[in-house]
Amino acid sequence: MTTITVGILGLGRLGASVGLALRRYNSRKGAKHEFQTAGVDSSASARAAAEKSGAVERIARTYAEAAANRDIIILALPYSEVASAYREIGLAARPGAVVIDLSPLKSPSLEWADERLPEGVFMVGATPVLNPDYLFDGLDSAEYARADLFDRGAWLLTPGRSTAKEAVELASDFAEILGATPHFMDPLEHDTLSAATEGLPALFGLALFRMLAQANSWEDTQRVTNASFGRATHHLEDTHPDDLRDFLLNNRRNLLPHLDALLATLRELRAVLERGDREALEVALIDAAQTYNAWLARRRSGRWDDRPEQPGRSVAGSLMSGLMGEYLSKRLRRDSKDDE
Protein backbone atom coordinates (compact mmCIF):
# COMPACT_ATOMS: atom_id res chain seq x y z
CA MET A 1 0.00 0.00 0.00
CA THR A 2 1.28 3.42 -0.94
CA THR A 3 0.77 6.71 0.86
CA ILE A 4 -0.69 9.90 -0.66
CA THR A 5 -0.49 13.10 1.36
CA VAL A 6 -3.40 15.55 1.22
CA GLY A 7 -3.61 19.06 2.62
CA ILE A 8 -7.13 20.40 3.15
CA LEU A 9 -7.35 24.19 3.34
CA GLY A 10 -10.74 24.95 4.81
CA LEU A 11 -12.53 22.59 7.19
CA GLY A 12 -16.11 23.62 6.61
CA ARG A 13 -18.65 21.13 5.35
CA LEU A 14 -16.93 20.49 2.01
CA GLY A 15 -13.34 20.32 3.23
CA ALA A 16 -14.15 18.18 6.27
CA SER A 17 -16.30 15.87 4.13
CA VAL A 18 -13.34 15.31 1.80
CA GLY A 19 -11.32 14.25 4.83
CA LEU A 20 -14.08 11.94 6.09
CA ALA A 21 -14.48 10.35 2.65
CA LEU A 22 -10.73 9.69 2.50
CA ARG A 23 -10.85 8.20 5.98
CA ARG A 24 -13.67 5.92 4.79
CA TYR A 25 -11.56 4.89 1.81
CA ASN A 26 -8.60 4.11 4.07
CA SER A 27 -10.78 1.75 6.12
CA ARG A 28 -11.86 -0.31 3.12
CA LYS A 29 -10.60 -3.84 2.92
CA GLY A 30 -8.14 -4.09 0.09
CA ALA A 31 -7.65 -0.34 -0.34
CA LYS A 32 -4.70 0.23 -2.66
CA HIS A 33 -3.61 3.57 -1.18
CA GLU A 34 -3.50 5.26 2.17
CA PHE A 35 -4.35 8.94 2.38
CA GLN A 36 -2.67 11.00 5.08
CA THR A 37 -4.43 14.28 5.79
CA ALA A 38 -3.61 17.59 7.38
CA GLY A 39 -6.07 20.47 7.56
CA VAL A 40 -6.25 24.13 8.44
CA ASP A 41 -9.04 26.60 9.07
CA SER A 42 -9.18 30.09 10.53
CA SER A 43 -12.31 29.15 12.50
CA ALA A 44 -11.70 27.57 15.89
CA SER A 45 -15.11 25.87 15.79
CA ALA A 46 -14.36 24.34 12.38
CA ARG A 47 -11.01 23.06 13.63
CA ALA A 48 -12.65 21.58 16.72
CA ALA A 49 -15.38 19.90 14.65
CA ALA A 50 -12.80 18.42 12.26
CA GLU A 51 -10.73 17.06 15.12
CA LYS A 52 -13.79 15.61 16.86
CA SER A 53 -15.02 13.85 13.71
CA GLY A 54 -11.56 12.66 12.64
CA ALA A 55 -11.84 14.47 9.32
CA VAL A 56 -8.09 15.13 9.35
CA GLU A 57 -5.23 13.48 11.16
CA ARG A 58 -3.43 16.71 11.98
CA ILE A 59 -4.35 20.38 12.29
CA ALA A 60 -1.85 22.74 10.66
CA ARG A 61 -1.27 26.31 11.85
CA THR A 62 -1.08 28.03 8.46
CA TYR A 63 -2.11 27.50 4.86
CA ALA A 64 1.55 27.12 3.94
CA GLU A 65 2.07 24.40 6.53
CA ALA A 66 -0.98 22.48 5.31
CA ALA A 67 0.19 22.74 1.69
CA ALA A 68 3.88 21.98 2.16
CA ASN A 69 5.10 18.59 0.92
CA ARG A 70 1.59 17.49 -0.05
CA ASP A 71 0.74 15.51 -3.16
CA ILE A 72 -2.79 16.93 -3.34
CA ILE A 73 -4.00 20.26 -1.95
CA ILE A 74 -7.75 20.74 -1.49
CA LEU A 75 -8.81 24.38 -1.49
CA ALA A 76 -12.18 24.67 0.29
CA LEU A 77 -11.86 28.07 1.94
CA PRO A 78 -14.38 30.87 2.44
CA TYR A 79 -14.37 32.72 -0.85
CA SER A 80 -12.84 35.96 0.45
CA GLU A 81 -9.74 34.00 1.59
CA VAL A 82 -9.03 32.18 -1.68
CA ALA A 83 -6.93 34.79 -3.47
CA SER A 84 -4.52 35.25 -0.56
CA ALA A 85 -4.31 31.48 -0.03
CA TYR A 86 -2.88 31.05 -3.52
CA ARG A 87 0.10 33.20 -2.51
CA GLU A 88 0.89 30.92 0.44
CA ILE A 89 0.34 27.77 -1.60
CA GLY A 90 2.64 29.11 -4.29
CA LEU A 91 5.43 29.58 -1.77
CA ALA A 92 4.95 26.22 -0.04
CA ALA A 93 3.79 23.65 -2.61
CA ARG A 94 6.37 21.27 -3.98
CA PRO A 95 6.78 20.57 -7.71
CA GLY A 96 4.22 18.08 -8.95
CA ALA A 97 1.56 19.02 -6.42
CA VAL A 98 -2.02 19.29 -7.69
CA VAL A 99 -4.35 21.92 -6.25
CA ILE A 100 -8.04 20.98 -6.46
CA ASP A 101 -9.97 24.22 -6.00
CA LEU A 102 -13.55 23.86 -4.75
CA SER A 103 -14.26 27.60 -4.83
CA PRO A 104 -17.66 28.59 -6.26
CA LEU A 105 -16.18 30.58 -9.17
CA LYS A 106 -13.57 29.12 -11.51
CA SER A 107 -12.42 31.91 -13.82
CA PRO A 108 -10.92 34.08 -11.03
CA SER A 109 -9.22 31.05 -9.48
CA LEU A 110 -7.60 30.15 -12.78
CA GLU A 111 -6.17 33.67 -12.98
CA TRP A 112 -4.85 33.52 -9.41
CA ALA A 113 -3.32 30.11 -10.05
CA ASP A 114 -1.58 31.33 -13.21
CA GLU A 115 -0.20 34.34 -11.36
CA ARG A 116 0.85 32.74 -8.08
CA LEU A 117 1.58 29.04 -8.53
CA PRO A 118 5.10 28.14 -9.63
CA GLU A 119 5.86 26.04 -12.65
CA GLY A 120 5.19 22.37 -11.97
CA VAL A 121 2.31 23.00 -9.53
CA PHE A 122 -1.05 22.46 -11.21
CA MET A 123 -4.60 23.58 -10.46
CA VAL A 124 -7.88 21.93 -11.40
CA GLY A 125 -11.16 23.57 -10.49
CA ALA A 126 -13.86 21.31 -9.11
CA THR A 127 -17.44 21.91 -8.03
CA PRO A 128 -19.11 19.13 -6.05
CA VAL A 129 -22.72 18.39 -6.93
CA LEU A 130 -23.73 16.76 -3.69
CA ASN A 131 -25.40 13.51 -2.74
CA PRO A 132 -29.13 14.02 -3.48
CA ASP A 133 -29.94 12.89 0.04
CA TYR A 134 -28.65 16.30 1.18
CA LEU A 135 -30.33 18.34 -1.55
CA PHE A 136 -32.79 20.12 0.72
CA ASP A 137 -30.97 20.47 4.02
CA GLY A 138 -29.33 23.84 3.23
CA LEU A 139 -26.65 23.22 5.85
CA ASP A 140 -23.11 24.35 5.23
CA SER A 141 -21.17 24.42 8.49
CA ALA A 142 -18.45 22.08 9.69
CA GLU A 143 -20.57 19.98 12.04
CA TYR A 144 -22.63 18.78 9.06
CA ALA A 145 -19.68 17.21 7.23
CA ARG A 146 -20.36 13.63 6.16
CA ALA A 147 -18.30 10.88 4.56
CA ASP A 148 -21.09 10.21 2.03
CA LEU A 149 -21.65 13.86 1.05
CA PHE A 150 -20.29 13.21 -2.47
CA ASP A 151 -21.82 9.75 -3.02
CA ARG A 152 -24.18 9.51 -6.02
CA GLY A 153 -23.19 13.05 -6.93
CA ALA A 154 -20.77 14.57 -9.40
CA TRP A 155 -17.62 16.66 -9.46
CA LEU A 156 -17.61 19.25 -12.23
CA LEU A 157 -13.98 19.63 -13.24
CA THR A 158 -12.87 22.88 -14.89
CA PRO A 159 -9.20 22.63 -15.86
CA GLY A 160 -7.42 25.57 -17.43
CA ARG A 161 -5.86 25.47 -20.86
CA SER A 162 -2.35 25.06 -19.45
CA THR A 163 -3.26 22.38 -16.89
CA ALA A 164 -1.33 19.18 -17.52
CA LYS A 165 -3.42 16.25 -18.69
CA GLU A 166 -2.06 14.07 -15.90
CA ALA A 167 -3.21 16.56 -13.25
CA VAL A 168 -6.70 16.53 -14.73
CA GLU A 169 -6.75 12.74 -14.68
CA LEU A 170 -5.62 12.77 -11.07
CA ALA A 171 -8.48 15.11 -10.11
CA SER A 172 -10.92 12.87 -11.97
CA ASP A 173 -9.77 9.77 -10.13
CA PHE A 174 -9.78 11.61 -6.82
CA ALA A 175 -13.45 12.48 -7.37
CA GLU A 176 -14.22 8.79 -7.88
CA ILE A 177 -12.38 7.84 -4.70
CA LEU A 178 -14.68 10.23 -2.83
CA GLY A 179 -17.76 8.57 -4.34
CA ALA A 180 -18.58 11.10 -7.08
CA THR A 181 -18.74 10.87 -10.87
CA PRO A 182 -16.39 13.30 -12.63
CA HIS A 183 -17.63 15.49 -15.46
CA PHE A 184 -15.84 18.22 -17.39
CA MET A 185 -17.00 21.77 -18.00
CA ASP A 186 -15.58 24.96 -19.44
CA PRO A 187 -14.78 27.44 -16.62
CA LEU A 188 -16.75 30.27 -18.22
CA GLU A 189 -19.77 28.03 -18.73
CA HIS A 190 -19.48 26.90 -15.12
CA ASP A 191 -19.53 30.45 -13.77
CA THR A 192 -22.52 31.33 -15.93
CA LEU A 193 -24.49 28.38 -14.57
CA SER A 194 -23.27 29.07 -11.03
CA ALA A 195 -24.75 32.56 -11.28
CA ALA A 196 -28.18 30.98 -11.78
CA THR A 197 -27.99 28.14 -9.25
CA GLU A 198 -25.87 29.69 -6.50
CA GLY A 199 -25.68 33.45 -6.98
CA LEU A 200 -29.35 34.10 -7.71
CA PRO A 201 -30.69 32.16 -4.68
CA ALA A 202 -28.20 34.01 -2.43
CA LEU A 203 -29.22 37.36 -3.87
CA PHE A 204 -32.90 36.51 -3.61
CA GLY A 205 -32.47 35.50 0.04
CA LEU A 206 -30.67 38.77 0.74
CA ALA A 207 -33.43 40.79 -0.93
CA LEU A 208 -36.19 38.88 0.86
CA PHE A 209 -34.62 39.35 4.25
CA ARG A 210 -33.82 43.04 3.72
CA MET A 211 -37.34 43.74 2.51
CA LEU A 212 -38.95 42.14 5.53
CA ALA A 213 -36.41 43.33 8.10
CA GLN A 214 -36.76 46.95 6.98
CA ALA A 215 -40.56 46.91 7.05
CA ASN A 216 -42.44 48.41 9.98
CA SER A 217 -44.04 45.02 10.61
CA TRP A 218 -40.71 43.21 11.18
CA GLU A 219 -41.19 43.11 14.96
CA ASP A 220 -44.22 40.89 14.42
CA THR A 221 -43.11 39.13 11.23
CA GLN A 222 -39.96 37.64 12.75
CA ARG A 223 -42.03 35.83 15.36
CA VAL A 224 -43.80 33.65 12.77
CA THR A 225 -40.76 32.53 10.72
CA ASN A 226 -40.42 28.82 9.99
CA ALA A 227 -38.47 26.47 7.73
CA SER A 228 -39.56 28.07 4.45
CA PHE A 229 -38.10 31.40 5.52
CA GLY A 230 -35.00 29.77 7.00
CA ARG A 231 -34.22 27.81 3.82
CA ALA A 232 -34.70 30.87 1.64
CA THR A 233 -32.34 33.03 3.71
CA HIS A 234 -29.81 30.51 5.04
CA HIS A 235 -26.90 32.05 3.11
CA LEU A 236 -26.91 34.90 5.61
CA GLU A 237 -26.25 32.44 8.43
CA ASP A 238 -23.69 30.06 6.95
CA THR A 239 -21.76 32.41 4.63
CA HIS A 240 -19.79 35.42 5.85
CA PRO A 241 -20.84 38.76 4.30
CA ASP A 242 -17.32 39.20 2.88
CA ASP A 243 -17.60 35.89 1.03
CA LEU A 244 -21.04 36.67 -0.39
CA ARG A 245 -19.87 40.14 -1.41
CA ASP A 246 -16.87 38.82 -3.35
CA PHE A 247 -18.84 35.96 -4.88
CA LEU A 248 -21.63 38.22 -6.15
CA LEU A 249 -19.34 41.00 -7.40
CA ASN A 250 -16.83 38.71 -9.10
CA ASN A 251 -19.62 37.02 -11.06
CA ARG A 252 -21.88 40.04 -11.63
CA ARG A 253 -21.65 39.94 -15.42
CA ASN A 254 -23.13 36.47 -15.41
CA LEU A 255 -25.52 37.21 -12.57
CA LEU A 256 -27.21 40.33 -13.96
CA PRO A 257 -28.95 38.66 -16.95
CA HIS A 258 -30.39 36.01 -14.62
CA LEU A 259 -31.51 38.72 -12.21
CA ASP A 260 -33.24 40.60 -15.04
CA ALA A 261 -35.04 37.41 -16.09
CA LEU A 262 -36.14 36.75 -12.51
CA LEU A 263 -37.48 40.29 -12.13
CA ALA A 264 -39.42 39.89 -15.38
CA THR A 265 -40.94 36.64 -14.13
CA LEU A 266 -41.89 38.26 -10.82
CA ARG A 267 -43.57 41.11 -12.71
CA GLU A 268 -45.57 38.57 -14.74
CA LEU A 269 -46.66 36.76 -11.59
CA ARG A 270 -47.54 40.05 -9.94
CA ALA A 271 -49.80 40.91 -12.86
CA VAL A 272 -51.50 37.50 -12.58
CA LEU A 273 -52.15 38.04 -8.88
CA GLU A 274 -53.36 41.60 -9.39
CA ARG A 275 -55.90 40.39 -11.97
CA GLY A 276 -56.95 37.56 -9.72
CA ASP A 277 -56.39 35.27 -12.72
CA ARG A 278 -56.98 31.83 -11.22
CA GLU A 279 -56.50 29.98 -14.49
CA ALA A 280 -53.18 31.66 -15.37
CA LEU A 281 -51.81 31.03 -11.88
CA GLU A 282 -52.91 27.41 -12.00
CA VAL A 283 -51.22 26.91 -15.38
CA ALA A 284 -47.98 28.45 -14.08
CA LEU A 285 -48.03 26.25 -10.97
CA ILE A 286 -48.83 23.01 -12.80
CA ASP A 287 -46.21 23.64 -15.49
CA ALA A 288 -43.57 24.49 -12.88
CA ALA A 289 -44.48 21.47 -10.72
CA GLN A 290 -44.24 19.06 -13.66
CA THR A 291 -40.87 20.43 -14.74
CA TYR A 292 -39.68 20.47 -11.13
CA ASN A 293 -40.62 16.83 -10.54
CA ALA A 294 -38.84 15.79 -13.75
CA TRP A 295 -35.72 17.67 -12.62
CA LEU A 296 -35.88 16.18 -9.12
CA ALA A 297 -36.17 12.63 -10.46
CA ARG A 298 -33.12 13.15 -12.67
CA ARG A 299 -31.18 14.85 -9.90
CA ARG A 300 -31.84 11.95 -7.54
CA SER A 301 -30.95 9.31 -10.12
CA GLY A 302 -28.02 11.16 -11.65
CA ARG A 303 -29.36 10.33 -15.12
CA TRP A 304 -29.69 13.34 -17.40
CA ASP A 305 -30.52 11.68 -20.71
CA ASP A 306 -32.15 8.56 -22.07
CA ARG A 307 -28.97 6.81 -23.14
CA PRO A 308 -28.17 3.44 -21.53
CA GLU A 309 -26.05 3.74 -18.43
CA GLN A 310 -22.38 3.20 -19.20
CA PRO A 311 -20.31 0.76 -17.12
CA GLY A 312 -17.84 2.32 -14.70
CA ARG A 313 -14.53 3.05 -16.38
CA SER A 314 -11.26 1.58 -15.24
CA VAL A 315 -8.84 4.11 -13.86
CA ALA A 316 -5.79 1.95 -14.25
CA GLY A 317 -4.11 4.36 -16.66
CA SER A 318 -0.72 5.96 -16.25
CA LEU A 319 -1.77 8.85 -14.04
CA MET A 320 0.69 11.53 -13.03
CA SER A 321 3.45 9.99 -15.11
CA GLY A 322 6.17 12.55 -15.48
CA LEU A 323 4.71 14.91 -12.89
CA MET A 324 5.16 13.49 -9.41
CA GLY A 325 7.08 10.49 -10.55
CA GLU A 326 6.16 6.89 -11.07
CA TYR A 327 5.46 6.31 -7.37
CA LEU A 328 2.32 8.49 -7.41
CA SER A 329 1.23 7.09 -10.75
CA LYS A 330 1.17 3.66 -9.15
CA ARG A 331 -0.74 4.96 -6.13
CA LEU A 332 -3.72 6.01 -8.16
CA ARG A 333 -3.83 3.05 -10.50
CA ARG A 334 -6.81 0.99 -9.55
CA ASP A 335 -9.77 -0.73 -11.08
CA SER A 336 -13.00 0.91 -9.97
CA LYS A 337 -14.51 -2.52 -9.39
CA ASP A 338 -11.93 -3.22 -6.67
CA ASP A 339 -13.10 -0.17 -4.73
CA GLU A 340 -16.79 -1.03 -4.67
Q: In this predicted model, what pLDDT tens digit does every residue of 135-152 receive, in sequence order? A: 988 778 888 999 999 999
pLDDT range class, residue 302, cuts 50, 70, 90: confident
H-assigned helices in 178-199: 187-194
Integer angstrom CA distances of residue 258 from 291, 296, 299: 19, 21, 22
**264-282 pLDDT, tens per residue?**
999 999 999 999 999 999 9
CATH tag, 189-301? 1.10.3660.10
CATH tag, 2-185+310-339? 3.40.50.720
**82-138 pLDDT, tens per residue?**
999 999 999 999 999 999 999 999 999 999 999 999 999 999 999 999 999 999 887
2 has a pLDDT exceeding 90? no
329 has a pLDDT exceeding 80? no
CB of 161 within 8 A of CB of 115? no
Q: Is 55 helix (H, G, I), strand (E, B) or coil?
A: coil
pLDDT range class, residue 307, cuts 50, 70, 90: low
64 has a pLDDT exceeding 60? yes
Q: What does the radius of gyration of the chain's CA atoms come to, in whole angstroms?
A: 22
Interior angle at CA 120, CA 118 and CA 123, nearest 5: 80
Average pLDDT (285-294) is 97
Edge-first strand order for the sheet with 154-159 is 58-59, 33-40, 2-9, 72-75, 98-101, 122-129, 154-159, 181-184
As annotated, the residues of the chain forming the CATH 1.10.3660.10 domain(s) are: 189-301
As annotated, the residues of the chain forming the CATH 3.40.50.720 domain(s) are: 2-185+310-339
> Residue 312 has what pLDDT?
46
Q: Rounded to a whole number, what is the largest CA-CA distance in the chain?
A: 71
334 has a pLDDT exceeding 50? no
- How far apart CA 31 and CA 166 sit, in angstroms, is 22
Q: Is 65 helix (H, G, I), strand (E, B) or coil?
A: helix
> Residue 309 has what pLDDT?
54
332 has a pLDDT exceeding 60? no
**28-47 pLDDT, tens per residue?**
988 888 999 999 999 999 99
Interior angle at CA 306, CA 300 and CA 310, nearest 5: 80
- How far apart CA 160 and CA 282 sit, in angstroms, is 46
Share of the chain above pLDDT 70, in %: 90
pLDDT range class, residue 308, cuts 50, 70, 90: low
- How far apart CA 62 and CA 77 sit, in angstroms, is 13
Q: Kindly report the backbone phi and psi dihedral angles of residue 124, in degrees, each rounded to the nearest multiple of 5, phi listed first.
A: -125, 125
- How far apart CA 337 and CA 160 sit, in angstroms, is 30
Mean pLDDT across the chain, nearest whole number? Answer: 90
> Residue 1 has what pLDDT?
73
Integer angstrom CA distances of residue 107 from 41, 158, 331: 24, 9, 30
Task: Provide the pairing of β-strand 154-159 with 122-129.
Answer: antiparallel
**75: closest CA among 28, 129, 131, 128?**
128
- How far apart CA 122 and CA 128 sit, in angstroms, is 19
pLDDT range class, residue 57, cuts 50, 70, 90: very high
Strand ranges (E), the chain: 2-9, 33-40, 58-59, 72-75, 98-101, 122-129, 154-159, 181-184
Average pLDDT (240-251) is 96
